[in-house]
Structures are given as C-alpha cells and as structure tokens.
Amino acid sequence: MASLDASRLKVTRASVLRPVPEPGSPELWAQNVATDHMVTCRWTVDGGWEDPLIKPFGDFPISPLASCLHYATQCFEGMKVYRGLDNRLRLFRPDRNAKRLATSAEKVSLPRFDTEQLVQLIKALARLDAPRWLPKPGTFRYIRPALIGTGRQLGVQVPKEALLLITMVCWPDFSTDSPPGVEPRSDLRLLTSRSDTIRAWPGGFGHVKVGANYGPSFASHSEAQRLGYDQVLWLFGEDGQVTEAGASNFFAVVKDERTATPKLLTAPLTDKLILDGVTRRSVLDLVKSRLEGKLQVSEVKFTISELEAAWIDGKLLEAFVSGTAVSNRR
C-alpha cells in the first residue's frame, strides 16, 4: 500500500497565468480568486496514495454519488504563506496544521498520511506560486489543504477513494481592512448564541476541522450579521459556558484580586468542544514564555454570567479572538 510521498511530485505548469489582484481590491473580499496552480493526490483503498500532482488550478469532475456529497466525509485546514518585511517567504507552524488535518481525517474515516509529506507538498505549492502572488512585503495568501471522500458509494460506509487538495487563495486582512462599502471599525461585536442552538458537545467533533461543524452554524452567523454583529459567541450548557466565537478561539483577560496577576481565560480542550487553534496555541505559548509573572494562562471553563459580572465589577480588562483567517481581533 503506497504512502503519501512528496518526492514523487509531478509538476505541470500553467501556460496562461492569472492576474494578481491589487491590495484592497474587491477580489480579495470575494475570497474565491485562486493562484495559478493547485496540488492534488488521489487515494484508493486498494493502491493507497498515487503520485501527487501540481497542475493548473481548475475544476475537476466528481461523481454525484461521492461520499463527501452525502455523508460529510471531508475535512480541511487553513493556513497562510507570508512575505515578511525582510522580503522572505514564510509559512507559520505548518506542522501543526498537518497534524490537525490528520486528526480530522481519522475522525471522518478518511485515509491516513505522513504529516511531514503534506508539509512538503504545501511548501512546493508555495515555492511555485507565492513569489508572483506576493509581490509586496507585509502581505499573505491563504492556503487551504482539504481531503474529501470521492468514492462512488451511496451506502453508509467508509470511503474507498479520496482526494487530497491544496489550493492558495487571495484573502483580505480582517485586522486592518473592511469590505467595500462598509465603514471601517476596530472593534469586534459578538452575539451570544440562542439557548436552542448548539455548536458542539462533549465527545463530539467540535475539536476537528470538518465541514459538518461549519454549515449548521451559518444560519446563526447570518442572523448575527443582520442584527449588526460580526460573529456568534457560542455558549454551551445550561450555565452558558463560553466556547468559541464564530470560527475563532475566544480569550478574555480579567483581574485576579487573589494573586494581583491578571488571568488570560480561554476554554479548555478537554471536552473537545473547541478547535485546538494554531493561533490559539501560539498565543498561549507566547504568554507563558514572555509574560511569566505578568499574565497567568487559565484554560478553564467559564460562563457568560461570570464574564458579565467581571465587566460590571470593572475586572474585565479586554477580550479578543484568534484564528488564521482573522489573526487576532479585540
């Protein structure tokens, strides 16, 4: 059975290159402008992983009976390639994304793969397309690895075929820009979820990055935007435990009168209610390594009532969200 092997990568370059959108252009906000190439790699239950391919970006055929179209046998990742102020191209902790994709794939019965080989395929696409698509320092492009069950099988069963995809897409900078026609503002407005809605539950799949976590939340997200909010702050349980904000991890900084050291609150990973965000983990790592004695990390359950009480008492110092798509927003 063949394993995923980046050394077998075959490259077919695009004969016609796509135009690169200007910074701040509407194309960035459309979030559907891809770079010139993409990675694909097919897997079958009998042969394992075939040779990975880099080829011109484009649509591909899929059977109407494909498992991913009926039973949500799909997972994905989100990461960025950056051009730094020193003009160098960089990926940010791609090993974390690769390991999380492997965890997600296992959860929805998709094939296993060597995470380092996935990282090498991501790097290969970035080396090919990023130099032209990131012409200016301080810019980035969004990378979307995905794995989908493609086998023609309407029966309820583990997919016998799968397809790995890696695409690179233009993406707006949510931390500084606003969509065309929308007045810029720096704050982030969250609407607490209704008591009759739930995003994730203990022992479920809220901790993995699968489409089944996102589609059912779109109605609540649209309602929040209609009411003038940016995202939904998802609560869990009768006590209203704070979990995630939309598709981002949520943090709050509160005063701790017992220790005189402020606490950085964020929901724990133990109940598998939230995603183990790469940016979340990086925030916690930075606080522990650089703010020791100044800010105490507290991965604990906390409720919206406790957060409200802290605000009323003047103990809530700030709140923010983190994620690859949004970076960090307060």
At 117-176, the pLDDT tens digits run 999 999 999 999 999 999 999 999 999 999 999 999 899 999 999 999 999 999 887 666
The answer, yes or no, to whether residue 328 has pLDDT greater than 60, is no
Q: Within this chain, do residues 232 and 266 fall inside the same structural domain, yes or no?
A: yes
Structure tokens at 157: 């069963």
The answer, yes or no, to whether residue 330 has pLDDT greater than 90, is no
Cβ atoms within 10 A of the Cβ of 22, count? 9
In the block, tokens 């820009």 appear at 177
Phi and psi angles of residue 52, each rounded to the nearest 5 degrees, phi first: -70, 150
179 in a structural domain: no
Q: Within this chain, do residues 204 and 258 fall inside the same structural domain, yes or no?
A: yes
pLDDT digits (tens, 9 = 90+) for 232-263: 999 999 999 999 999 999 999 999 988 889 99
CATH classification at residue 195 = 3.20.10.10
**Are 233 and 245 a contacting pair, CB within 8 Å?**
yes
Q: What is the mean pLDDT of residues 304-321?
A: 97
Residues whose CB falls within 8 Å of the CB of residue 92, separated by 6 or more in sequence, listed in order: 79, 80, 82, 278, 282
User: What is the pLDDT at residue 175?
Assistant: 64
pLDDT digits (tens, 9 = 90+) for 183-225: 666 688 999 999 999 999 999 999 999 999 999 999 999 999 9
Q: Within this chain, do residues 144 and 236 fall inside the same structural domain, yes or no?
A: no
89 in a structural domain: yes
First vs last C-alpha separation in the chain = 48
Q: Within this chain, do residues 31 and 66 fall inside the same structural domain, yes or no?
A: yes
257 in a structural domain: yes
Give strand pairing partners of 37.
56
329 in a structural domain: no
174 in a structural domain: no
- Domains identified in the chain, total number: 2
Domain range for residue 288?
A: 190-322
pTM of the complete model: 0.93
Q: Within this chain, do residues 19 and 145 fall inside the same structural domain, yes or no?
A: yes
pLDDT digits (tens, 9 = 90+) for 69-111: 999 999 999 999 999 999 999 999 999 999 999 999 999 999 9
Q: Within this chain, do residues 28 and 139 fall inside the same structural domain, yes or no?
A: yes
Nearest CA to 283 out of 308, 265, 301 is that of: 265
175 in a structural domain: no
Q: Within this chain, do residues 129 and 221 fall inside the same structural domain, yes or no?
A: no
Residues whose CB falls within 8 Å of the CB of residue 225, separated by 6 or more in sequence, listed in order: none
SS3 content of the chain, % helix, strand, coil (to 5): 25, 30, 45
Q: What is the mean pLDDT of residues 286-290?
A: 97
Average pLDDT, the chain: 94
**What whole-number distance in Å separates Cα of residue 53 and Cα of residue 110?**
19
Q: Within this chain, do residues 136 and 249 fall inside the same structural domain, yes or no?
A: no
User: What is the pLDDT at residue 172?
Assistant: 82
**What whole-number distance in Å separates Cα of residue 160 and Cα of residue 109?**
10
Residues whose CB falls within 8 Å of the CB of residue 159, separated by 6 or more in sequence, listed in order: 67, 68, 73, 109, 110, 149, 150, 151, 153
- Residues 106-133: b if buried by 16+ CB within 10 A, e if exposed: ebbebbebebebbbbbbbbbbebbbeeb
